[in-house]
Structure 1
């Protein structure tokens, strides 16, 4: 009888430890997120289920073109792409991204830009000074983010620059639906 009791105790202890590990990992390391809306098309689709790496910016800084999750409001997280980094001046002219005056290629939207009828723009022209805050250069501790679907995205053009502290983490792995599993 004592052996049976010990076996039950061992099982309960193992399940408790597994549950505790799952909670710790979920809170501090990885978290699931579901893409809500079309703002990251064509890269991400509405309903894509992804994993957020919460440690990515604990030990490193955001890099240009990272796809990040950030706290947009108290109750809502957004998924966008980092376009501008601290110390940079960003502007768009004729669907070309310029960082500190140098043209930067954006391969993840080039197909959409090339498919537009002549004279149409994918990203309307703007510069950093025209965004909320009116900065001449992105200050330390901030990033400029845009959705890949530039005509249908609430991003830094409306929200202003995003504080790095508001970044939940980086996401690049889609695990659902099965047909879209992969790294983006």
Structure 2
């Protein structure tokens, strides 16, 4: 009887260690949760929403428009990639130009309306600047309050990008893909 209990405990212990190992690998290298802090990504992401971050990046590069998590010194940031390495970025009269081409940003329409009602622009004039090699230029969707590449974060080294936001999973009533 004692031998069976010992064998059972050993089996459970082994299963538990394997499960913990798998969870560690998944969280470290594949996906992890992130809590949005602040209003810099409103209305796309809201304060205290929980997002699944995809850490798996086969190409090692990110695309313009993707929402990424950036590792900071004391906290992480969630921002949208606006400029890729080598891009020339300029904002004139509240319109983003990337490499001389107007970039449509439909996710800003709600915030643009709010800025107009306040008698201001959503995004002040900026640039032109060129994004250095292996760096990215990021901005929050709520440009009036966002700390981003324009005003504090600077260019983002690709090594600082933790991963790409994939979906909002909490609150459950707001479950959705991150666009």
Q: TM-score if structure 1 supplies the norm length? A: 0.89
Displaced runs of 4 or more, over 4 A = none
**What secondary structure does 2:150 align onto?**
helix
Q: Shift of residue 169 of structure 1?
A: 0.7
**What secondary structure does 1:165 align onto?**
helix
Bigger shift: 115-124 or 162-171?
115-124
Q: Shift of residue 8 of structure 1?
A: 2.2
Number of residue-to-residue matches in the alignment: 175
The answer for the alignment partner of 1:98 in structure 2 is 97
CA distance in 1, matches of 2:60, 2:157: 15
The answer for the alignment partner of 1:77 in structure 2 is 76
The answer for the alignment partner of 2:41 in structure 1 is 40
Q: Shift of residue 65 of structure 1?
A: 0.8
**Residues 146-174 of structure 1: per-residue CA shift (max 9 Å, x gap):** 00000001100122111011111111211
Q: Is the Cα contact below 8 Å between 2:85 and 2:135 reproduced in 1?
A: yes
Which of the residues 138, 148, 154 maps onto 1:155?
Answer: 148
Q: Shift of residue 7 of structure 1?
A: 2.2
Q: TM-score if structure 2 supplies the norm length? A: 0.91
The answer for the alignment partner of 2:126 in structure 1 is 126
Which of the residues 152, 176, 179 maps onto 1:182?
Answer: 176
The answer for the alignment partner of 2:160 in structure 1 is 166
**Unmatched tracts of structure 2, length 5 or more:** none
RMSD over aligned Cα atoms: 1.6
Q: Shift of residue 114 of structure 1?
A: 4.2
Q: Is the Cα contact below 8 Å between 2:87 and 2:98 reproduced in 1?
A: yes
